[in-house]
């Protein structure tokens, strides 16, 4: 496989991981289906790459920016513990 | 005719926001137009589904349901409001095999386009004003089949019988529904204390304790509730508190602007044209918006009373007017448009 192919594969995996990592509220605010896009990115590679970067990622970024620090978000058990 | 907490609004809708929210201008980030009781600290959360349930003989009957949609939920000082732009998504076609998949993709595209055309310019909206709020509940996600959800209880008088209903909102799994419910009950209790100073001592004590209500701890796959000490049946006449005792200020009352006139008599701040399934004999009393000059005529002194509400006839006043520059609704007595600042007289 060529270097370009490997780059695309790595980018897709990175995007799939990034998509999976984003909280459910960001996906809800972006009005997109998380499971659908994570599976698409993980298994269909280049087919999902362009529509995701153009149509989904900007919405997720905006939703994340708006919802950052929401007082209603659950806090995972850790240094601050659960509410 | 029974009250539907959800309705579909378009930008061309006339009327008022007594029973259902009105849409705001496109330039404003909030889809819903805020009113004088909403205050400045409006919190927003996104829900993924909404259901309207009726309690019948201990069972729950679903009256309306929208799933897998994006719903903007606004928690204000005066109500919980919601708006959903893409309430009708279309799609749902499934295909198997190469040809089937192609057909399904095409059918879904057509279906979604038709749905978009059907709902163009229209938004699903609804709200529960705090005078109507009977209870606030939350359920936490505990396992694959459950979800974070809140329920708001309200009731209405229909054909002589009282009908109890719930508005259920499904939240994303990373949102703590119990915290959302806590915020709502805190604000609702504060609203009662601020605008109903003639409550009984028992109701006042209950409302005071609700202001500091702890976070609910619902059992797995079940709801836990906070109950309001009193509530009104949903009607246009009970949407807002009545005329307040002198000196009772709104939580977000601002000092009068230098150019603003002195506050007029209470009858100068009136909402006209209440829209309701059942006819309302006279309009409710309502002050101007939070960003307008403070008025010492702010209403709010109606006693919630026992369950069943009160039938009042607040005095009527002058008609609602609109700014000639931007078309925003104004309150009689205002000299300047709250939105664009244009002089009204």
Query: What is the C-alpha separation between A22 and A20, in angstroms, rounded?
Result: 6
Query: What is the number of domains present in chain B?
Result: 1
Contacts of A27 in chain B (CB under 8 A): 172
Does the residue A30 lie in any domain?
yes
Query: What is the C-alpha separation between A36 and A32, in angstroms, rounded?
Result: 8
Give residue-wise pLDDT tens across range B51-81.
999 999 889 999 999 999 999 999 999 999 9
Does the residue B343 lie in any domain?
no
Q: Are B152 and B128 in contact (CB under 8 A)?
A: yes
Query: What is the C-alpha separation between B35 and B20, in angstroms, rounded?
Result: 12
Residue of B nearest to A67 (CA): B45
Specify burial of residue B310 (Cβ count, 10 A radius: 0-12, 13-18, 19+).
Answer: middle
Of B341, B199, B316, which Cα lies nearest the Cα of B266?
A: B316
Of B70, B86, B180, Cβ closest to residue A72: B180
Does the residue B170 lie in any domain?
yes
- Rounded to two decimals, the ipTM of the complex is 0.81
Give residue-wise pLDDT tens across range B250-280.
444 333 333 433 333 333 332 222 333 332 2
Does the residue A36 lie in any domain?
yes
Domain containing A7 equals: 3-67
Q: Which CA distances in Å does B258 have to B72, B336, B337?
A: 36, 12, 15
Per-residue pLDDT of chain B (345 residues; tens, 9 = 90+): 678 999 999 877 777 889 999 998 877 788 899 998 999 999 999 999 999 999 998 899 999 999 999 999 999 999 999 999 988 877 777 777 778 777 877 888 778 777 777 777 789 999 999 999 999 999 999 888 889 999 999 999 877 789 999 999 999 999 999 999 999 999 999 999 999 988 899 999 999 999 999 999 999 999 999 999 999 999 999 999 985 434 444 444 333 333 433 333 333 332 222 333 332 222 333 333 333 233 333 333 333 333 333 333 333 344 455 666 666 666 666 667 766 777 765
Does the residue B154 lie in any domain?
yes
Contacts of B68 in chain A (CB under 8 A): 33
Does the residue B15 lie in any domain?
yes
Residue B38 maps to which CATH number?
2.30.29.30
Residue of A nearest to B177 (CA): A72
Does the residue A83 lie in any domain?
no
User: Residue A35: CA atoms inside 13 Å, Cβ hemisphere, count?
Assistant: 1
Q: Are A57 and A14 in contact (CB under 8 A)?
A: no
The distance of B41 to chain A (nearest Cα, Å) reads 13
Does the residue A82 lie in any domain?
no
* DSSP-derived pairing of the beta strands B122-129 and B79-84: antiparallel
Torsion angle of the four alpha carbons B22, B81, B282, B1, in this order, in degrees rounded to the nearest 10: 100
Residue of B nearest to A69 (CA): B175
Of B8, B123, B32, which Cα lies nearest the Cα of B70?
A: B123
Query: What is the number of domains present in chain A?
Result: 1
Size of interface A-B (CB pairs under 8 A): 47
The distance of B47 to chain A (nearest Cα, Å) reads 7
């Amino acid at each position: 496989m060529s270097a370009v192919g490997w780059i695309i594969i790595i980018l897709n995996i990175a995007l799939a991981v990034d998509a999976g990592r984003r909280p459910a509220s960001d996906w809800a605010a972006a009005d997109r289906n998380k499971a659908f896009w994570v599976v698409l990115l993980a298994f269909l590679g280049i087919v999902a790459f362009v529509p995701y970067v153009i149509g989904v990622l900007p919405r997720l970024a905006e939703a994340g920016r708006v919802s950052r620090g929401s007082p209603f978000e659950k806090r995972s058990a850790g240094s601050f513990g659960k509410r | 005719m029974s009250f539907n907490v959800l309705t579909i609004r378009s930008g061309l809708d006339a009327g008022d926001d007594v029973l259902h929210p009105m849409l705001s201008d496109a330039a404003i980030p909030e889809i819903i137009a805020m009113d004088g009781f909403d205050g400045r600290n409006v919190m927003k959360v996104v829900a993924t589904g909404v259901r309207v349930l009726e309690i019948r003989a201990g069972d729950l009957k679903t009256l309306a349901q929208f799933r897998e949609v994006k719903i903007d939920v606004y928690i204000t000082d005066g109500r919980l409001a919601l708006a959903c732009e893409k309430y009708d998504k279309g799609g749902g076609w499934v295909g198997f095999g190469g040809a089937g998949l192609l057909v399904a993709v095409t059918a879904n595209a057509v279906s979604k386009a038709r749905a978009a055309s059907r709902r163009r310019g229209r938004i699903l909206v609804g709200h529960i004003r705090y005078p109507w709020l009977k209870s606030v509940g939350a359920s936490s996600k505990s396992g694959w089949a459950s979800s974070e959800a809140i329920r708001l209880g309200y009731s209405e008088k229909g054909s002589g019988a009282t009908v109890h209903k719930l508005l259920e909102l499904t939240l994303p799994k990373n949102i703590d529904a119990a915290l959302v419910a806590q915020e709502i009950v805190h604000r609702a209790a504060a609203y009662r204390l601020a605008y109903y100073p003639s409550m009984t001592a028992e109701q006042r004590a209950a409302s005071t304790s609700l202001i500091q209500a702890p976070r609910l701890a619902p059992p797995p796959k079940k709801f836990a509730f906070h109950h309001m000490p009193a509530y009104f049946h949903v009607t246009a006449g009970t949407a807002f508190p009545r005329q307040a005792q002198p000196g009772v200020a709104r939580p977000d009352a601002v000092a009068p602007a230098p150019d603003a006139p002195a506050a007029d008599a209470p009858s100068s701040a009136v909402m006209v044209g209440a829209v309701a399934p059942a006819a309302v004999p006279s309009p409710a009393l309502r002050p101007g918006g939070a960003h307008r000059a403070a008025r010492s005529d702010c209403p709010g002194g109606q006693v919630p009373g026992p369950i069943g509400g009160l039938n009042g006839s607040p005095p009527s006043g002058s008609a609602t007017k609109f700014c000639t520059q931007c078309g925003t609704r104004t309150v009689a007595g205002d000299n300047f448009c709250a939105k664009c600042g244009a002089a009204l007289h």
